[in-house]
Structures are given as C-alpha cells and as structure tokens.
C-alpha cells in the first residue's frame, strides 16, 4: 500500500503558505509527512508557498520555520521558496501552450464576472465557456501584439480522473466538473496548482501527504501531470481536525497557532505526541508514545478517514505526563525562559518579597515539589505563586473552616516553636522538612490535637490557598525568614 515509487526513495514535503502562523492542523500534516519519511528512511522537505505577494509575509515564513524547528522537524534539504521559482513555472506553462494543452484567454475580469452573474441568475453552476479556446491563430497574435491582458487556461479533457488515495482508497472525479482553470493569471502570476505540481516534480516528491481540504485539487493536479507526461506521486489526504463543538478549528474561536502553545507552556514533544494521535492510532491505542517509537510504528494503515477532535484535556494530560518524566534541568531552562519572557510575571510583584529571579537551586526545588501536579510549564508559576511572593489574600472558605477559635491560641503557641529564638528546631536537626514535621507532630500530640488542624492553618498562612505540595517540604524550600514573616502577617490580620 505504501510502497515507494520513484527511485525507491520516499521523499515527502510539507508546504505551508506563509499567510499566517503555523497552525496546529498544518503541524499535524507536517508530523505525518515527517513520521512517514523517517519510518521509510526517506527525506522530509520543506517548501514555503509564498507566490501570493499580498498575503505572504516573510516574517511569517521565519516564524513557521521556527515553529517547525521547535517541533523538531527540520528540512532534510535546503528549504524551497516558490517565489524564487516563478520563471520555471512560466516556462512549463509555455510548454503546455505550445503542445496545445493550455491556451490564451483574453476575457477581462469584468466580462467573466458578468458571465458568472448570468449563470447564477439562471441557477446554473458557472463554468468557463471556452470562448477563447478556438480563437484563430492570427487573432491571438494580434491580441498579443496589442498587449491585451490575457490569462492562460488549462484545457480539461473529457473523461474521469481517479487515483488510489492512501487514506481514502479509490477516489474518482468526473472531469466534466472541472473548469478549464487558469494556470497563469493576467498579471503574470502562476496559480497554486501549477507551482505545486512543478515543485513536487522537480523535488522528486514520491508521496503528497496533506489535509482533506486539498482533495478536490488532486484531480486538477493529476491532469497537469498527465499533460506534461510526468510521473504522478502517490496521494494521502488526512482527516480534518475539529474543535470540541465539532466545528472545523477556527483562528477566531480556538487557540490554533503552534507558537501560542509554546507560550502557554506546552512541551514540543507532548504537542508532537498529541497531534500525532489526531488521525493516527498506535497499534495498542496507547496515548503516550514518544517520537522514536512513533517513527517505528507509523503506518498509513492506522490513519483514520474520519475527522479528529482536538481535545484540550487530553493535550493537558499528555503534557503533564511529559513534564513528570522530564529531566528537571530541562524543565528549569523552560521555566526560566517563561519567568524571563516579557511581561515577566516576576516584574509584577508588589511588596518586598523576591522580586528578582530566584537562583537555580531554588527554582529546581520548586520544580521538584510541583512537577507531579502541573499541566504546563507556566503552571509552575501560576499554581506556585507562593514560592515567589507572599500571599495577598486568603481563601475565605478555608479560613472559615480551619481558623477556628479553638485553634487560634494553639497555633500562636506552635508558631513560637518556629522562631529563631526557639531552640526546638535546632535540637531536632535544624530547618529541614524532617525536623519540621517531627516538631509539628510532637507539638500536636502534646496539645492533644490532630496534626491536620495545624497543617491546614499553616498552608493558608503560607500560600493563601488550601492546596499545595507537602507542607514540610514547602516550609523547607521557603526558608525560615519567609515562613516566620508570613505567619506573623497572617496572625496579625486575623486576630
């Protein structure tokens, strides 16, 4: 099914148009190309389809390439830019004109609009009427001498065009439904169909793997290959990606750019894993499958025809699993990038606490305490603000529940055991989680209360919220000065 055609080497390409950022749908297409190339020990190539000068922006090409690099998919050969190849496209179209397979069409866009409107009024699907097809040679030459604007149209032969799509199976189109479409516009610019097939031919592409939205372009492209006598690549059209409302992912409603996922704190390997599952199912339906294994497993036999749903909860879960199993120094690098990226969350701190980036040792402790609970890199800060700044407010329900009259006096007494004046912690081994725990438990026992009663209040005083990692580890990381300062503030506010 996936056997290789040309020279027995798989050569695939990802061909984004730089009219926007790299979209997750585009990234998924790139991933399937990349995995197939690596699985088949072939080549993965990148081509920037920037023939539309109005819509293509060079900074967007750069951004797309950066997102591709971030996802770990570099081109195996030099990146091809269509804007460098316009002359080649025109040469090939001229060959088609010379061999009678394409022809000059002198209608102005106003004339064509008029004909289109007439068809619409009669409720007939508009199709170019081939009025220019049989113009006399002399007339054509005269028009050209007069420099009349013209387009070049492709003559669509009668019949059907079919191909064996690797995902969809046999796919057939009636040529009657295809217009004699324009190859070169009157401003001299070649259209997408032309540029694509010439590039795919020149780049010796063996398999064209792209989204389902291109399915109707394929018969047009096949007809062009045939007209030129060129070998036709294999085609695989991938299912669309829908959002949770079962609508096509939209820039307006959904977060779609790869760059944004990076900024939100997703790991490239997790996004890669997640996007692969949008349309591909590994043999045992596992959800965490790393890149190396995906390369070995990937096969179009397990690519679904049906649309896939972008489930953000699943992405969050996959990301949390990758975070849990990541090296802490790697997480540190990403976390520091996040903390330093403008506007730096640390620059918004008020008050006199740690307004500068804490040192690596401190950040590593934060990471190690919380990496089992976060879903994104940004959450190391968002869920762990208390590692960086004193709480400014306290959870009201938590206060009502835990800061009871019975506990107030006992808690104040407990607090005394933590101050530098008290010898108790030093006797137990200093400011570390083990002695802090021993200290709290024996204090609670002596008072005949449950340790939890103190722990809940401590958590509120130190974090302002009711959930945190282990309280004793937290106290160790925060250090005595911060713990004492926060408890003093808390007691001062609520007694």
Residues in contact with ligand GLU by the rule CB under 6 A = 15-17, 49, 196, 210, 214
User: Cβ of residue 33: shortest distance to ligand GLU, in angstroms?
Assistant: 9
Q: Are 79 and 65 in contact (CB under 8 A)?
A: yes
Kindly provide the residue ranges of all beta strands, DSSP E only, lying in 185-310, ordered along the sequence: 207-211, 234-238, 241-242, 308-309
DSSP structure string for 445-472: HHHT--HHHHHHHHHHHHHSSS--S-HH
- Cβ at position 197, least distance to ligand GLU in Å: 9
Rounded-to-integer distance, Cα 333 and Cα 327, Å? 10
Q: What are 251's two structure tokens? A: 């820039």
CA distances from residue 275 to 28, 54, 241 in whole angstroms, order as listed:
5, 30, 10
State the Cα–Cα distance between residues 465 and 472, nearest whole angstrom.
16
Q: How far is the CB of 196 from ligand GLU (least distance, A)?
A: 5
- DSSP letters for 83-95: GGGHHHHHHHHHH
Check: CB of residue 106 under 8 Å from CB of residue 186.
Answer: no
Q: Which is nearer to ligand GLU, 52 or 395 (CB)?
A: 52
Residue nearest to ligand GLU (CB): 210
Q: For residues 15 and 102, which CB has a smaller minimum distance to ligand GLU in the complex?
A: 15
Distance CA 400, CA 410 (A): 17
C-beta of 195 vs 425, nearer to ligand GLU: 195
The single residue of 114, 117, 226, 251 carrying the catalytic annotation is 251
Assigned token pair, 89: 């496209």
> Of the two residues 217 and 320, which places its CB atom closer to ligand GLU in the complex?
217
Q: List all residues 6 or more positions away from 414 whose beta carbon is below 8 Å from its beta carbon.
A: 440, 443, 454
Three-class SS state of 181 = coil
Residue 251 appears among annotated catalytic residues:
yes
Phi, psi of 269 (to 5 degrees): -65, -35
Least Å distance between CB 17 and ligand GLU?
4
Strands 207-211 and 234-238: parallel
Instruction: Tell me whether residue 214 or residue 489 sits nearer to ligand GLU (CB atom).
Output: 214
Q: Which is nearer to ligand GLU, 28 or 459 (CB)?
A: 28
Smallest distance, ligand GLU to C-beta of residue 374, A? 34
Q: Which is nearer to ligand GLU, 300 or 411 (CB)?
A: 300
Least spacing, CB of residue 391 vs ligand GLU, in Å: 48
What residues contact 327, with CB distance under 8 A and at least 6 apart? Answer: none
Whole-number minimum distance, CB 295 to ligand GLU, in Å? 22
Instruction: For residue 493, give Cα distances in angstroms to 327, 475, 487.
Output: 41, 20, 10
Strand order in the sheet with 207-211: 169-174, 160-165, 234-238, 207-211
Catalytic site residues?
251
């Amino acid at each position: 099914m996936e056997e290789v055609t040309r020279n027995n080497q798989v050569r695939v390409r990802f061909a984004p148009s730089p009219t926007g950022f790299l979209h997750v749908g585009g990234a998924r297409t790139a991933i399937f190309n990349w995995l197939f190339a690596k699985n088949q020990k072939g080549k993965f190539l990148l081509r920037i389809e920037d023939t539309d000068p109005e819509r293509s922006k060079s900074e967007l090409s750069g951004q797309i390439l950066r997102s591709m690099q971030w996802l770990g998919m570099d081109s195996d050969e030099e990146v091809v830019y269509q804007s460098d190849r316009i002359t080649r496209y025109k040469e090939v179209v001229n060959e088609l004109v010379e061999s009678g397979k394409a022809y000059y069409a002198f209608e102005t866009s106003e004339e064509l609009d008029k004909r289109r409107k007439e068809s619409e009024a009669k409720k007939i699907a508009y199709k170019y009427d081939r009025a220019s097809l049989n113009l006399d040679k002399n007339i054509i030459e005269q028009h050209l001498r007069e420099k009349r604007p013209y387009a070049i149209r492709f003559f669509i032969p009668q019949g059907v065009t079919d191909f064996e799509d690797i995902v969809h199976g046999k796919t057939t189109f009636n040529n009657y439904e295809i217009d004699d479409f324009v190859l070169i516009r009157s401003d001299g610019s070649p259209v997408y169909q032309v540029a694509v097939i010439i590039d795919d031919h020149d780049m010796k592409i063996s398999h064209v793997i792209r989204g389902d939205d291109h399915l109707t372009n394929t018969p047009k492209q096949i007809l062009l290959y045939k007209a030129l006598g060129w070998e036709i690549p294999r085609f695989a059209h991938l299912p669309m990606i829908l959002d949770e409302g079962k609508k096509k992912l939209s820039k307006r409603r959904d977060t779609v750019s790869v760059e944004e996922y990076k900024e939100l704190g997703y790991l490239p390997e997790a996004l890669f894993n997640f996007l692969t599952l949008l349309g591909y199912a590994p043999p045992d339906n596992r959800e965490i499958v790393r890149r190396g294994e995906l390369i070995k497993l990937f096969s179009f036999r397990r690519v679904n025809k049906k649309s896939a749903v972008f489930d953000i909860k699943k992405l969050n879960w996959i990301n949390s699993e990758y975070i849990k199993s990541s090296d802490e120094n790697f997480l540190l690098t990403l976390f520091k990038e996040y903390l330093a990226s403008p506007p730096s969350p640390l620059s918004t701190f008020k008050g006199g606490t740690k307004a500068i980036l804490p040192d690596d040792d401190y950040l590593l402790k934060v990471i190690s305490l919380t990496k089992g609970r976060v879903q994104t890199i940004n959450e190391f800060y968002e869920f762990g603000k208390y590692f960086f700044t004193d709480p400014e407010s306290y959870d009201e329900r938590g206060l009502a529940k835990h800061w009871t009259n019975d506990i107030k006096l006992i808690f104040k007494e407990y607090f005394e055991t933590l101050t530098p004046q008290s010898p108790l912690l030093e006797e137990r081994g200093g400011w570390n989680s083990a002695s802090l725990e021993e200290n709290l438990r024996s204090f609670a026992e002596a008072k005949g209360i449950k340790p939890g009663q103190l722990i809940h209040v401590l958590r509120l005083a130190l974090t302002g919220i009711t959930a945190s990692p282990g309280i004793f580890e937290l106290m160790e990381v925060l250090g005595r000065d911060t713990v004492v300062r926060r408890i003093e503030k808390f007691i001062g506010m609520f007694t």
